[in-house]
Amino acid sequence: MSRTRARRAAATVAVAATLPYLALKICWLAGSSIGVTDPDLMGEPTMVGLNAMTFGMEVVGLLLALAFATRPGMRLPAWLVLLPLWVGTGLLAVVVVGAPVVMATAQSSALGGSPIEPWVYLLVYGGFMTQGVSLMTAFALYARERWPDVFTTATALPFTSPTRSLQTVVARGCLLVAVPVGGIRLGSAADGGPVHEGLRGLLAIAGAVAFAALVARRGRGPFWRPLVVAWLGSGSLFAWGLYAMIVTLAQGPLGGGMTGVAALVELFGLLTGLVMGMCGAFLLAERSGVRDLQPPQEPLEGDDREGDRRAADDGHR
């Protein structure tokens, strides 16, 4: 299968994975109590607002998948693709790994008095898991076709960067904040907290370390490897922090409000992810169009292939 066909196939799967969730949200916004044990729950103003927000987020995911599947999508402005995808993959990266745990414990949640039926968890998180894998696969193939230099240049490639000194300060500052934020999350998961807390903690620390390496141009491998880690780490910090702040301020009937240390951790995570994302945008903009004259070689290739060819030519003279 060609890369273009694989991209379109992955995008098609992502589109299909959004449909059950969108259908459920439309039912709830229309006043239906399907999948809910309390008929009045979805009529609460706060729940209507949250359902409308998450419905809109899923529509954005659907539009991104369509963009990855069509030719006009290759001509969209870069920011129109990268910004929503940065937020979306930050959310989905945690969901993809944690979804099996949520689906496995759906029955126990129902027995614990949850107003949501178990099958809703299976439908929603199963769709999120499928959507996350397929959407990220489609984007990887899309980016490989639209921005091939990102996949061929080395991390240590030198290029002109007017804002590098600022990026260095920001990267080090983000590292100082992300490590304790991630450490607190890991500690919470180790003490019996939700699994996704540990995943978010790992992403926060790994993302900040990778971002610092990108700014410092350290590493022998291709640029895309630390970029993926920094992308997911910063996106996770920002997206989940923003979502937590919205849910807390809304004070919905499903709970989720935070106080004290938990609220501070979410706030600092939100701000750190935002700063990393903005600084990363400068880095990508300055690096765009830069080509590596000597792309990363395979391990069995020589260090100087041009020199090897000259030696061979001399031998035939």
Read off the pLDDT of residues 80-108 as tens digits, 9 standing for 90 and up: 999 999 999 999 999 888 877 766 765 55
Find, among 23, 13, 18, 29, the residue nearest to 59 by Cα: 18
Domain extent listing, the chain? 1-146, 156-292
Could you give the CA distance from residue 240 to residue 43 in angstroms, rounded to a whole number? 25
Quote the pLDDT of residue 202.
95
Beta bridge partners of 222: 154
pLDDT in tens, 287-314: 886 664 444 444 444 444 444 444 434 4
Answer with the residue of higher pLDDT: 96 or 258. Answer: 96
Quote the pLDDT of residue 307.
44
Quote the pLDDT of residue 252.
64
Q: Are 198 and 228 in contact (CB under 8 A)?
A: no
Quote the pLDDT of residue 11.
96
The answer to whether residue 134 scores a pLDDT higher than 50 is yes
Q: Calculate mean pLDDT across residues 115-127.
A: 88
The answer to whether residue 51 scores a pLDDT higher than 60 is yes
The answer to whether residue 172 scores a pLDDT higher than 50 is yes
Quote the pLDDT of residue 313.
42
Could you give the CA distance from residue 6 to residue 145 in angstroms, rounded to a whole number? 12
Quote the pLDDT of residue 122.
87
**SS3 of the chain:** CCHHHHHHHHHHHHHHHHHHHHHHHHHHHCCCCCCECCCCHHHCHHHHHHHHHHHHHHHHHHHHHHHHHCCHHHHCCHHHHHHHHHHHHHHHHHHHHHHHHHHHCHHHHHHCCCCECHHHHHHHHHHHHHHHHHHHHHHHHHHHHHCCHHHHCECCCCCCCCCHHHHHHHHHHHHHHHHHHHHHHHHHHHCCCCHHHHHHHHHHHHHHHHHHHHHHCCCCCECHHHHHHHHHHHHHHHHHHHHHHHHHHHCCCCCCCCCHHHHHHHHHHHHHHHHHHHHHHHHHHHHCCCCCCCCCCCCCCCCCHHHHHHHHHHHHC
Could you give the CA distance from residue 226 to residue 210 in angstroms, rounded to a whole number? 5
Q: Which residues contact 230 (CB under 8 A, 6 or more apart)?
A: 207, 208, 210, 211, 214, 276, 280
The answer to whether residue 235 scores a pLDDT higher than 90 is yes
**Cβ atoms within 10 Å of 289's Cβ, excluding its own:** 9
Q: Predicted confidence band at 248 (pLDDT cuts at 50, 70, 90)?
A: confident
Could you give the CA distance from residue 31 to residue 26 in angstroms, rounded to a whole number? 9
Average pLDDT, the chain: 85
CA R_g for the chain: 22
Quote the pLDDT of residue 303.
43
Quote the pLDDT of residue 298.
42
Q: Predicted confidence band at 1 (pLDDT cuts at 50, 70, 90)?
A: confident
List C-alpha distances in Å: 221 to 134, 161, 218, 253, 295.
26, 20, 9, 48, 10
Q: In which residue are the tokens 């397929």 written?
A: 134
Find, among 147, 154, 141, the residue nearest to 288 by Cα: 147
First to last CA, the chain: 44
The answer to whether residue 34 scores a pLDDT higher than 70 is yes
Quote the pLDDT of residue 159.
85
pLDDT in tens, 179-224: 999 999 999 888 877 788 899 999 999 999 999 999 999 988 899 9
